Amino acid sequence: MEFIETILGTLDGKEVKAYNLKSAGGAELTCMEYGCIITKINLPDRYGNTENIVLGFDTLEEYLNHSPYFGCVVGRSAGRIKNAAFEIEGVTYKLSKNDGENNLHGGPNGFHQVIWDSAVEKTDSEVKIIFSYLSPNGEEGFPGNLDVSVIYAFNDQNELLITYKAVSDQKTIVNLTNHSYFNLSGNLKRTILEHELTLPSDRFLELDDALLPTGRMIPVEGTVFDFQKGRRISEGIESGDPQTIMVGGGFDHPFLLNQKRPICLFDHESGRKLEIETEEPAVVFYSGNMLPDDFSIRGVQSQKHLGLCLETQKPPGMMDALFLEKNQVYLSKTKYRFALV
């Protein structure tokens, strides 16, 4: 394994470091301290062409001006919190509203906007980038001083293991995930509509018109939400299902993971495959329905369905699952395996 450390830019008087990691297996990952953002993952296709498979930018300024959560860690709580408020032991905590009346991905100044501290650990076959941040009591309205670490461990087998760890000095809520947008075509040559997705899930959470889970768990069988045996993403978007129309023409839904198989994303033309294994009980599949078209991404015009997210997490909207007790350790791991078929 090789890695190079650089200074990507300066924000609020503080330098922002970036790390470029290269594996013996032919893959390359770049990440930075701002938002723990994964800015690039280069991977060969079946013809030997090495290309980028995530949406991202080359400059810090572009992330500040345009990025819809590209590649970052979101928190304290991923997803939407209804009415931007929750209650603990009779006390109501009011959060920032940044999605209508709701709180989205921890608020406008959530973890995706933070400059994290970082350190590096290296062996012959693996490099770990260890990001850390102390979120103060009351930040974005959340209670408790939350000590957070996020570790990106990238190895010579082209595997990325993300480990999230957090401890609070008060009872609070925590639900962390990575918000990378994947496009396995390489360098954004095509949209993700013809990608094939396999989800080991027999139920998804219904959404209301504010894109909040209603609490209903809907069986996927016989619907366009059935990805258990793999299907093209375009099939669901073309279906006209009311739930896909509601979210802008596609998917933005939590799927409950109840089978011991990996999530699998495959692009037939390039031969690239992504497998995801997680300890989390759910994944939010977002097919990029609301990506704006008023900026470019490394020379490619942004558009709907240019990338997709597979956000492993606790089921959003199920607040009881999000509570973290005082001094309890929050620990979550998700592995991404990049391969060719």
pLDDT tens-digit readout, 163-206: 999 999 999 999 999 999 999 999 999 999 999 999 999 999 99
For the stretch 35-54, pLDDT in tens is 999 999 999 999 999 999 99
Average pLDDT, the chain: 96
pLDDT value for 25: 87
Active site residue 277: no
For the stretch 270-323, pLDDT in tens is 999 999 999 999 999 999 999 999 999 999 999 999 999 999 999 988 899 999
Q: Answer whether residue 238 shows pLDDT above 90.
A: no
Q: Where are the domains of the chain?
A: 2-340
Q: Answer whether residue 259 shows pLDDT above 90.
A: no
pLDDT value for 317: 84
pLDDT value for 231: 96
| For the chain, percent of residues with pLDDT exceeding 90 | 96
316-340 burial, b at 16+ Cβ within 10 Å, e below that, comes to bbbbeebebeeeeebebbbbbbbbe
Pairwise pLDDT comparison (240 vs 171), residue with the higher score = 171
pLDDT value for 251: 97
- Region 2-340: CATH code: 2.70.98.10
pLDDT value for 237: 84
The token pair at 80 is: 């939407």
pLDDT value for 205: 97
Residue 156 burial (C-beta neighbours within 10 Å; 0-12, 13-18, 19+):
middle
CA atoms within 13 Å, Cβ hemisphere of 261: 14
For the stretch 118-136, pLDDT in tens is 999 999 999 999 999 999 9
Which of 105, 112, 179, 195 is catalytic? The answer is 179
pLDDT value for 67: 84
pLDDT value for 209: 92
Pairwise pLDDT comparison (318 vs 325), residue with the higher score = 325
d(CA 237, CA 232): 10
Q: What is the pTM of this model?
A: 0.97
Active site residue 253: no
